[in-house]
Amino acid sequence: MKFGLVGTGYWARHAHAEALANEQTIEFVGVWGRDLGRATEVAAPYGAQPYDDYDAFLAGIDVVDFSLDPDVQAELATRAAAAGKHLLLEKPMATSVEAAARLEAAAEKSGVCSVVFFTRRYEPAHRKWLETLQQQGGWRGAWSLWIADGLTPGSRFESSAWRREKGPLWDIGPHALATLWPILGPVTAVSAVRGDHDLVHLVLTHEGGATSTASLTLTAPHEAAHIEVTFWGGSGLSTMPPSEVPSRESLRVAIRELVDCIKRGDRSHPCGVAFGRQVVEVLALANRHISPPPTPRPPPPSPSHLAPGTSE
């Protein structure tokens, strides 16, 4: 099955391209980028064909692997789905409900299979932990900390324009939801408040009445970077195990599962576009709470009959 990569940035080069090249079950055949020179740099080490013509790129592949800003991804993935290409998407798959819905509709209409890459959902230890929690049941809530240093000077995503614009809600919020959702159920309500710098606190209500919290930042000092998710309930406390594999290895799991879905004609992957759209809907609701308030109007001038420094 022929895979093509869309994107030429850091994550495309060091995670997606390496995963595609090292996955023996598929053929990595092309790289598309707006800059042909950068596409060539990504493609050359793996013998893939570089493209700056998107339609020509689509013509030679079966599956498109995206590693782009989410808003650009949503537009190009919708075109790919309409052309009958299966989709491996990054999270979030869009940053607007409308774009996410268009992408889902295009995938549904064309009957293509899809997987959204919520990194930890493809890690073996993480999956085993979630399965154990589901078997135990009785979980009433959770708290989570996603204290990341991704935009701290010297970090690998320091130059990521979309992460700086959209903040941690859209970058690491999807990871929080993808971990809480399978255990506590779909999110039915969300509130959010801003903290210091880019810090965002979420309070989530889940189907059935369970509640959870998530604190998100991308600008923590390196020394403070920390990820923790803890569920509580009748079985006590259970905390998420640490990540044990590189992201590119989790990507290979996602690739294999997408290939299996395509072979079976199965479009019900739990992390497909339907779930991706639900995540976008929750994040969009949260974003309404933390959007910058309107610029305050200047106070009206003091009445002329009052002397400076006096009041009625």
> Can you give the pTM of this predicted structure?
0.91
Q: Indicate whether 291 belongs to any domain.
A: no
Paired tokens of 24: 């023996």
Q: What is the Cα–Cα distance from 102 to 125, expressed in whole angstroms? A: 34
Please choose, from the candidates 290, 105, 305, the residue with its C-alpha nearest in 3D space to the C-alpha of residue 199: 290
- Asked if residue 113 and residue 82 are part of one domain, the reply reads yes
CA–CA distance, 285 with 147 (Å, rounded to integer): 22
How many CB atoms are closer than 10 A to CB 111?
A: 11
Q: 33 and 98 share a domain? A: yes
CATH of the domain at 140: 3.30.360.10
Specify the residue for token string 């970058």.
171
Is 95 in the same domain as 159?
no
The answer to whether residue 170 is domain-embedded is yes
- The boundaries of the domain holding residue 113 are 2-120+248-271
| Bridge partner residues of 189 (DSSP) | 205
CB 278 within 8 A of CB 186: yes
* Residue 93 included in any domain: yes
Say whether both 131 and 199 belong to one domain: yes
Q: What pLDDT, on the 0 to 100 scale, is given for residue 244?
A: 86
Please indicate, yes or no, whether residues 25 and 80 belong to a single structural domain of this protein. yes
CB of 179 closer than 8 Å to CB of 144:
yes
Question: For tokens 């991308």, what's the residue?
Answer: 218
Same domain, 29 and 84: yes
Number of domains in the chain: 2
22 phi-psi bin (left φ>0, alpha ψ -120 to 50, beta other): alpha
| Digitized pLDDT (tens) for each residue of the chain, 312 residues in all | 999 999 999 999 999 999 999 999 999 999 999 999 999 999 999 999 999 999 999 999 999 999 999 999 999 999 999 999 999 999 999 999 999 999 999 999 999 999 999 999 999 999 999 999 999 999 999 999 999 999 999 998 988 999 999 999 999 999 999 999 999 999 999 999 999 999 999 999 999 999 999 999 999 999 999 999 999 999 999 999 999 899 999 999 999 999 999 999 999 999 999 999 999 999 999 999 997 644 444 444 444 433 333 333
Q: How far is CA 255 from the centre of its chain?
A: 16
Q: Are residues 101 and 177 in the same domain?
A: no
Cα dihedral: 160, 166, 168, 173 (round 10): -120
Closest CA to 218 of 202, 199, 194: 199
Return the CATH number at 82: 3.40.50.720
Give every strand in the sheet of 139-147, ordered side by side. 187-194, 200-206, 211-217, 139-147, 226-233, 236-239
> Residue 25 in 3-state DSSP?
coil
Q: Pairing between strand 139-147 and 114-117? A: unpaired
Please state, in angstroms and rounded to a whole number, the distance separating the CA atoms of residues 253 and 181. 20
Q: Which residues contact 138 (CB under 8 A, 6 or more apart)?
A: 233, 234, 235
Decide if 276 is inside a domain: no
- Rounded Cα gap, residues 269 and 122, in angstroms: 12
* Cβ pair 277, 104 in contact under 8 A: yes
CA distances from 144 to 47, 108, 174, 250, 312 (A): 42, 33, 13, 21, 51
pLDDT for position 294: 44
